[in-house]
Amino acid sequence: MKKLVFVTQNKNKLEDAKKLLPQFEIEHVDFEVPEIQSLDSKEIIAAKLEFVWRKLKKPCFVMDTSLALECLGGFPGPFIKWWFEKTVGEEKTCKIANLFGEHGCVWTTVLGYFDGKDSHFLEETLKGSIAEKPRGENGYHWDTVFIPDGETRTTAEMTFEEKQSYAPTRKLLERLKDIVQ
- How confident is the model over 36-61, as pLDDT tens digits? 889 899 999 999 999 999 999 999 99
Identify the pLDDT of residue 67.
Answer: 97
Alpha carbons 129 and 86: distance in angstroms, whole number:
22
Reported confidence tier of residue 139, pLDDT bands at 50, 70, 90: confident
Q: What is the mean pLDDT of the chain?
A: 95
For residue 32, pLDDT beyond 90:
no
Length of the chain equals: 181
Q: Over range 62-68, report the average pLDDT.
A: 95
- Report whether 110 contacts 48 (CB < 8 A): no
Residue 16 appears among annotated catalytic residues: no
Q: Stretch 148-162: mean pLDDT, rounded?
A: 97
- Among 93, 102, 80, 74, CA closest to 134: 93
Tell me which residue of 121, 178, 168 sits closest to 13, measured CA to CA. 168
What's the angle, vertex CA 17, arms to CA 11 and CA 50, rounded to 5? 80
Report helix, strand or coil for 43. Answer: helix
Residue-level pLDDT at 21? 95
Percent of the chain residues topping a pLDDT of 70: 100
181, pLDDT greater than 80:
no
Give percent above pLDDT 90 in the chain: 89
Asked if 155 contacts 134 with a C-beta cutoff of 8 angstroms, the reply is no
pLDDT digits (tens, 9 = 90+) for 97-136: 999 999 999 999 999 999 999 999 999 999 999 999 999 9
Residues 6 or more apart whose CB falls under 8 angstroms from that of 80 comprise 65, 66, 67, 141, 142
How high is the pLDDT of residue 119?
A: 94
The confidence score (pLDDT) of residue 61 equals: 97
Q: Which of 64, 118, 143, 149 is catalytic?
A: 64
Its pTM surpasses 0.75:
yes
Residues 146, 153: Cα–Cα separation, whole Å: 8
- Report the C-alpha gap between 157 and 136 in whole angstroms: 4
Q: Checking DSSP bridges between strand 146-148 and strand 104-114, what pairing results, if any?
A: unpaired
